[in-house]
Amino acid sequence: MGSKIQSVFAREIFSMRGHPGVEATVTTEDGASGVAIATAGVSIGKHEVQFAYDGEKRYQGKGVLKAVENVNKTIGPALKGMDATRQREIDETMIKLDGTPNKSKLGGNATASVSAAVLKAGAASLGIPLYQHIGGVNACTLPVPGVGAVVGSDRYGGGERAGGKPSYSLMAYGFKTYSDASYACWEVATAFDRLMQERHGLRTLSRAIRHAPIPRGIVKHDRELWDLMTDAIAEAGYSSRIGIQVDVAAGCYYDSKKDVFVGLFSEEDKTKEDLIELYKDMAANYPFVIMEDPLDEVDYEGHAILTKEIDIEVVGDDLFTTNVERLQRGIDVGACDAVLLKVNQIGTISEAFDLVQLAYRNGYGVMPCSSRGEGPDIGDYSVGLNTGHIRESGTGPSANRLLKIESELGSNAVFPGKAGLKTR
């Protein structure tokens, strides 16, 4: 059979973040192949699967040659001869090979890279686009995209493991097509870039990868940034058509000994109650449409309270870690109304897609994110799963992929507009 796996090969590469990642290549007997990357993110939840690292001086302990070896010597031989179009059987084989609840034996980076590569090889063997392989004839919804605006975790102190969070993006929802929304992302980012230069003498990192890093001492409170983003939206002519998304990663700022959040949004320490009041103000007085991980990553009750208090989307990332059990716990108490999808956070495609179905059955939104090496494939995931919205991906390589998908779908392409968000 042509779609049977002939070989699985992995190597260590430089990821988009500059540190090593695992690149897996799966080739089938008919010559089709799939290549996928798994790498660590910036804000890493405590409850994610474990990646296999070398733990030596090389790359400050973050080399992934152990994970590569696990693919080449253990996973690859076990998958040879299996059908690449039977994703769940392959993923279950890897889960059994690992035998741990958190992929600590083989490494989540080893299993995730192979799982995603199998998915792509299966699509290639069938001769269909990845999004169609994922969603079949129902794969037709283009996502509401965004464009990065601000990063930086050290402007007020605290957040030693935040990796640049909170980060802000501008979500283009009030448009008829994805391509219109993508162009609006470029326009509002250009307006934001101009205002940032005029007011603070700062520029975004690049025209393709937006996000302005804010050094310490530039602003006294993130409210100044909210004002600037609101002004940029207005100057671009998109008031009520573009909104603000914030990835807080609040758990990175939480001091459990003091029971306060240190250096989050301003220098003053904040309690959970302080943050909830601040979020209510943000939702009421600024064009926020999405808040991600606004409280500590184990605080289900706090997230449930906030979700009831504000009428914008509340997303769990570090709270849920693309994990079915953790999402179910959130559903049980009403914590958040959307979940961030990171395939490489859980270790296999099948487990990630199980989470998507659980979310949909319970009225939760799903927001794919490419921060773990998914790259432009995140566009296929979003269309294949009909998620309705996506993290960033309004410009750059992911946008290019989504524009191509939109063109391929033609008149069948659907853009949900604001209905793609879980706002109320």
Q: Which residue reads 């779908």 in tokens?
A: 409
Contacts of 407 (CB under 8 A, 6+ apart): none
Domain housing 73? 5-127
CA-to-CA distance for 190 and 232, rounded, in angstroms? 9
In a shared domain, residues 24 and 155: no
pLDDT at 208 over 60: no
What pLDDT is attached to residue 157? 78
Last residue of a domain, one of 127, 145, 160: 127
**Candidate from 44-48, 76-80, 98-102, 114-118 with smallest mean pLDDT:** 44-48
Is the pLDDT at 205 greater than 60? The verdict is: no
Q: Please say if the pLDDT value at position 22 is more than 70.
A: yes
Dist. CA 186–CA 41, nearest whole Å:
25
**Are residues 286 and 165 part of one domain?**
yes
Q: Is the predicted pLDDT of residue 226 greater than 60, yes or no?
A: yes
Percent of the chain predicted with pLDDT > 70:
96
Residue 298 has pLDDT above 50, yes or no: yes
Residue 331 confidence (pLDDT):
98
Instruction: Give 204's pLDDT tier (boundaries 50, 70, 90).
Output: low
Q: Is the pLDDT of residue 292 over 50?
A: yes
Claim to verify: residue 113 and residue 160 sit in the same structural domain: no
CATH, residue 317:
3.20.20.120
Residue 44: what pLDDT?
64
Give mean pLDDT, residues 203-231: 80
pLDDT at 273 over 70: yes
Which domain-ending residue is among 93, 127, 161? 127
Looking at the predicted structure, is the pLDDT value of residue 169 above 80? yes
Omega prior to 416 cis, within 30 of 0: no
Which residues neighbour 219 within 8 Å (Cβ) at sequence distance 6 or greater?
A: 155, 200, 225
Residues paired with 36 in a beta bridge: 24
Provide the mean pLDDT of the chain.
94
Say what the pLDDT of residue 43 is. 54
pLDDT at position 158: 76
272/344 same-domain check: yes
Q: Of 102, 127, 152, which one is at a domain's C-terminal end? A: 127
Specify whether 244 is located in the same domain as 340: yes
Count up the domains in the chain and report the number: 2
pLDDT at position 206 over 80: no
Candidates 220, 66, 213, 71; CA nearest to 151 is 213
- Residue 37: φ, ψ to 5°: -120, 140
Same domain, 160 and 70: no
DSSP E strand boundaries for 206-251 = 212-213, 242-247
The string of pLDDT tens digits covering residues 351-382 is 999 999 999 999 999 999 988 788 999 999 99
* pLDDT tier for residue 212 given thresholds of 50, 70 and 90: low
Answer yes or no: is pLDDT of 3 > 50: yes
Instruction: Determine the average pLDDT of the residues in 135-144.
Output: 97
Tell me what the mean pLDDT of segment 239-248 comes to. Answer: 98
**Both structure tokens of 54:** 């070398």
The sign of the torsion formed by the CA atoms of 156, 158, 162, 166 equals: negative
Same domain, 331 and 256: yes
Q: Are residues 44 and 143 in the same domain?
A: no
142 shares its domain with 122: no
Examine the domain organization and report whether 147 and 47 are in the same domain.
no
Q: Domain containing 45 — which CATH number?
A: 3.30.390.10
Which of the pair, 41 or 15, is modelled with greater confidence?
15
1 pLDDT higher than 70: no
Q: Residues 31, 102: one domain? A: yes
Q: Mark whether 285 and 149 lie in a shared domain.
A: yes
